[in-house]
Structure 1
């Protein structure tokens, strides 16, 4: 089951890593691209494509690759901190006042909104790592003005009902205790953490949450997904995306079936344990309990050991 989930996660990241999908995400969450159409944004995405292979050390940026942004699945490695991995990381370029501006983007896919910690705080950490790792590549010495803005975008696929479909931004903003310092946004607008929450039961949302809800749904059949993505959102099935959607849907069915089987097994085990407890309380021996429950004595001893 663990292998099936791992394969499912891999296909999910590969699908999100298609440039057309990344362009959709940036259209709705990055202020730099709000006035551009999806096709224009797609053309702005860089060629720094990684395939979950190269470990990105502090100060290193991405290296060139092919059309799809197949997640570097890399986090800047720091001795003593253990290994963490970006799901997807890439560069994008746009023009501002005749200048070519570069941004560094990270996209993460999560199945739980609160997996024992705050995803928002983790997003801030990822963004901070993307900033600090630029020293020696995007800027050298004290040339801090060349630090590139970073986005860490988190997609939570099973948001709680009280949240529903929602998008929130976490940015640095200027506030004055004593006014007087000029507000030069370009000097501090260097990091943005975006949380995109998806809930299939929620009726609120926008075009992005609807598209992602269809794309990542574990319930919709492949044919339905492809039809809706192509006809409602003008997303062509390029770069084998249709086949990857099919594989992801097949794996979601497999994982669900294994989960159901595992749940049934747990239920049977729990019921058997309760029966053993009752018979043990009546002073019955292991052999008597095994005979009455039609189980072998080894199984009864294992259950008794767990009870103790």
Structure 2
């Protein structure tokens, strides 16, 4: 196979892996843990309770989401009366084959360029003291590119702003800014720089008094939060979301170990569907790793042969001798060896 063909295969494997990661992250049991550990509003609730707060009919498909009202503002659903769980108090295994609508969901606004969200959904935070509830919009992004060429923080902030601006004409109209919903954009970085591994960063709006005292409602300010989760070795952290995501996206932890950790530590029931998805993710991860390793080794071998040819030529050895030497050393055909040697002279056989 040509180098181009191998790169195309590797790219295709990566695309399948990316899609599978988003599919698993859209599982409600996984989302419940993300919401519990990354949002202030759900920190006191159990994952099972959080699942019931995720709104919408779950689907696993690419859906074009325009600026439509996610629910009826005039007739909100009755808030659920749920008592928060104490820290460490969980229900039995989380059974959920449901996934959120919106892998690669599109948000299109007037005179604004289309944006595709990995996962986007709505939640309603229940209250146990009053008959009111808080509605929020959540975006989950799987950042699998190690060096995208820009700060992830800036992109996360941009996504938050888009989630805010898209509410105009849907969640609120004209000057009804009081109806604006809080948004979260949560980024899971699978392979960050070494110094950032096993860290979580939160970016949010805050106010400070320039002059005088402030008595404003903090909820009127706290409308945007971006969370950057930088994964590392899941065995060297006690943080629950770093461990869960690290185990789930690891390319070295075997399927059976992932299942055991998810059930024993996170009480996520490995249903047939979820088990199949995790197994498929492991297979795709292994395929990407092997193709990438093979591709890298071949590129390294090619550079090594080129370096050997240059070194031999600088030593005054003639081309025919160099060809014979590299044929024996690297087990090349006559044509392959000639191409390496003649390429240095600017000509091919």
TM interval, short-chain normalised: 0.7 to 0.9
In the alignment, which residue of structure 2 is the partner of 1:33?
Answer: 42
Give the superposition deviation at 1:238. 3.4
Q: How many residues align?
A: 303
Does the CA-based 8 Å contact 1:113-1:119 persist in structure 2?
no
Change in 2 beyond 3 A, CA 1:46/1:293: same
TM-score (normalizing by structure 1) = 0.88
- In the alignment, the residues of structure 1 paired with residue 160 and residue 258 of structure 2 have an alpha-carbon distance, to the nearest angstrom, of 32
Distance apart, 1:112 and its partner CA = 4.5
CA RMSD of aligned residues (A): 2.7
Do residues 207 (structure 1) and 240 (structure 2) align?
Answer: yes
3-state SS of 1:33 partner: coil
Give the C-alpha shift of residue 34 in structure 1: 1.0
1:187 is displaced (CA, Å) by 1.4
Q: Give SS of 2:251's match.
A: coil
- Residues in 2 aligned to 1:255 and 1:196: alpha-carbon distance in whole angstroms: 22
Determine whether 1:15 maps to 2:27. no
What is the Cα deviation at residue 265 of structure 1? Answer: 0.7
Query: What TM-score, normalized to structure 2?
Result: 0.78
CA 1:100–1:239: 2 relative to 1, 3 Å: farther
**Structure 1 equivalent of residue 120 of structure 2:** 89
User: Equivalences for 1:176-195 in 2 at 5 Å?
Assistant: 176-195=209-228
Aligned residue number for residue 226 of structure 1 = 259
Does the CA-based 8 Å contact 1:14-1:71 persist in structure 2? no
Q: 2:13 aligns with which of 4, 7, 14?
A: 4
Consecutive unaligned residues in structure 1, runs of 5 or more = none
Rounded to whole Å, the distance in 1 between the matches of 2:181 and 2:275 is 34
1:262-300 deviation digits (Å, cap 9, x = unpaired): 122112101121133234446777666545533423454
**Hey, what's the Cα distance between the residues in 2 that align with 1:82 and 1:187?**
28
Q: Which consecutive unaligned segments of at least 5 residues does structure 2 have?
A: 1-9, 72-96, 328-333
**Residues 1:235 and 1:202: Cα distance change in structure 2 (over 3 Å):** closer
Match of 1:275 in 2: 308
Offset of 1:52 from its aligned partner?
4.5
2:176 paired residue among 115, 127, 143: 143
Secondary structure in 2 matching 1:227: helix
Q: Which residue of 2 aligns with 1:68?
A: 99
- Over 3 Å counting, the alpha-carbon distance change for 1:179 and 1:48 in structure 2 is farther
- Displacement of 1:303 after TM fit? 5.6
Secondary structure of 2:62's counterpart equals: coil
Counterpart in the other structure of 1:241: 274
Instruction: Please tell me whether the aligned partners of residues 60 and 102 of structure 2 are also in contact (alpha carbons under 8 angstroms).
Output: yes
Distance apart, 1:240 and its partner CA: 0.9
Aligned to 2:185: 152
CA contact (8 A) 2:65 2:106 kept: yes
Larger Rg: 2
The CA distance in 2 between the partners of 1:303 and 1:126, in whole Å, is 49
> Is residue 172 from structure 1 mapped to residue 205 from structure 2 by the alignment?
yes
Q: Match of 2:133, SS?
A: strand
Secondary structure (helix, strand or coil) at the match of 1:15 reads: helix
C-alpha distance in structure 1 between counterparts of 2:107 and 2:295, whole Å: 37
Q: Does 1:46 align with 2:79?
A: no
